[in-house]
DNA sequence: AACCATCCCAACCGCACATCG
DNA sequence: GCGATGTGCGGTTGGGATGGT
């Protein structure tokens, strides 16, 4: 306040503080983000979600505002272009498969319609690559018979496509299915796009050593969009692992324990049992995969 | 050259919490 | 305990810069 008065500034203290912390501080970097910094952001975001201050604390010379802006303007698009959902850090195709195999057919139909706009690039990529021959009008065929692949590569992709097709087929076959409430879990909530926004990732064994790894999708027993991955980045439910990371981060910085803060605030950022998908660093830096 | 759309980032806003008298 | 003030944080916006037509 004194500074504002002395300088004759027409700004409130808060504005001045923000200007200083985000722009004027001598130790700030103003250049472009390096590849290493981008990778760090992506990795940490998969763990902590939109906790920009936490992420920025691991990037010397960068502010939370810097990180946030860079994420919103560059990294989100980059991940989306790679077919990775920037919120969940899962491949779009796998999210689709989860949805298709978890929801009731009518809901899948509505979702598929809405999601096609978002996921079309990824789906087209998959379908083109695998030369999938959608035969939704022939439900009697076994899933494996509904498409042909050009190679034996990547059985997981096949499974993914299979699941998508199964879900869509069911949806199309039963477009007017009775929507009356049932005992099924999916009937307990209206399905909106908001339900599918979330951040979940498997907590890495080591933050510094953690990287996107090969999709572990396919463990049918542990996968449910409702119990695994449907939390928002900034409001993910608490988990013991979150505190562990917080403690580790603060240990490195010698700052106040965020874990204690989180405990005090009654909130935390991590969810348990999430999945981090593998993205080769080269791909991450590839503007368009 | 003019117009338009998009990108980018500093700044703003609102909220929650901490500190102080 | 209470109100005023300061601080931290995440979400959003405003407007200049840039590129395309």
A116 CA to C20 C1' distance (Å): 28
A222 with A237, same domain?
yes
CB proximity A54–strand C (7 Å threshold): yes
Residues A111 and A132 placed together within one structural domain of the fold: yes
Instruction: Judge if the beta carbon of A62 is closer than 7 A to nucleic acid strand B.
Output: no
- Positions of chain C reached by protein Cβ under 7 A: 5-12
Asked if A172 and A105 sit in the same domain, the reply is yes
Spatial distance from the CA of A21 to the C1' of C20 (Å)? 36
Same domain for A80 and A136: no
Q: H helices within A26-154, ranges in order? A: 35-48, 52-57, 64-70, 76-81, 92-102, 105-130
Contact A106, A165 (CB under 8 A): no
Residue A64: inside a domain: yes
Are A100 and A166 in a shared domain? yes
Q: Is the CB of A15 under 7 A from strand B?
A: yes
**What's the angle, vertex CA A235, arms to CA A102 and CA A241, rounded to 5?**
85
**A82 with A209, same domain?**
yes
Over residues A237-270, the pLDDT tens digits come to: 333 333 334 444 444 443 333 333 433 333 333 3
- What average pLDDT is seen over chain A? 53
Does some domain include residue A27? no
Tell me the pLDDT tens digit for each residue of A47-70. 888 888 888 888 888 888 888 888
- Which tens digit of pLDDT belongs to each residue from A107-148? 666 666 555 554 444 444 444 433 333 333 333 333 333 333
Query: What's the total number of domains in chain A?
Result: 2
- Strand C and A231 CB separated by under 7 Å: no
Would A258 be classed as within a structural domain?
A: yes
Which structural domain range is residue A83 located in? 38-88+201-284
Same domain? A112 vs A71: no
In a domain, A31, yes or no: no
Same domain, A105 and A84: no
SS3 of chain A: helix, strand, coil, percent, to 5: 55, 0, 45
At a CB cut-off of 8 Å and minimum separation 6, what does A128 contact? Answer: none
Q: Please choose, from the candidates A174, A247, A71, the residue with its C-alpha nearest in 3D space to the C-alpha of residue A63.
A: A71
> By three-state DSSP, how is residue A84 classified?
strand
pLDDT in tens, A22-53: 777 777 777 788 888 888 888 888 888 888 88
């Amino acid at each position: 306040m004194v500074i504002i008065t002395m300088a004759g500034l027409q700004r409130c203290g808060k504005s001045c503080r923000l200007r200083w912390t985000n722009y004027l501080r001598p130790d700030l970097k103003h250049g472009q983000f390096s590849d290493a910094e981008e990778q760090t952001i992506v990795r940490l975001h998969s763990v902590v979600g939109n906790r920009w201050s936490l992420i920025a604390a691991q990037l010397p010379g960068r502010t939370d505002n810097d990180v946030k802006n860079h994420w919103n303007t560059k990294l989100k698009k980059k991940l989306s272009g790679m077919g990775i959902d920037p919120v969940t850090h899962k491949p779009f195709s796998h999210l689709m498969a989860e949805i298709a195999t978890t929801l009731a057919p009518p809901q899948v139909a509505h979702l598929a319609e809405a999601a096609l706009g978002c996921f079309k690039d990824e789906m087209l990529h998959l379908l083109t690559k695998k030369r999938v021959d959608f035969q939704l009008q022939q439900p009697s065929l076994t899933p494996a018979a509904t498409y042909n692949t050009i190679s034996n590569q990547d059985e997981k992709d096949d499974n993914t496509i299979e699941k998508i097709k199964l879900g869509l087929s069911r949806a199309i076959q039963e477009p007017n299915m009775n929507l009356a409430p049932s005992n099924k879990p999916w009937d307990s909530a209206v399905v909106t796009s908001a339900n599918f926004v979330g951040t979940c990732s498997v907590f890495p064994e080591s933050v510094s050593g953690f990287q996107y790894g090969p999709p572990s999708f396919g463990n049918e027993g542990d996968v449910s969009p409702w119990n695994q991955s449907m939390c928002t980045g900034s409001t993910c439910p608490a988990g013991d692992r979150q505190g562990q990371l917080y403690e580790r981060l603060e240990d490195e910085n010698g700052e106040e324990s965020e874990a204690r803060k989180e405990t005090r605030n009654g909130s935390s950022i991590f969810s348990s049992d999430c999945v981090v998908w593998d993205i080769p660093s080269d791909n991450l830096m590839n503007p368009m995969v």
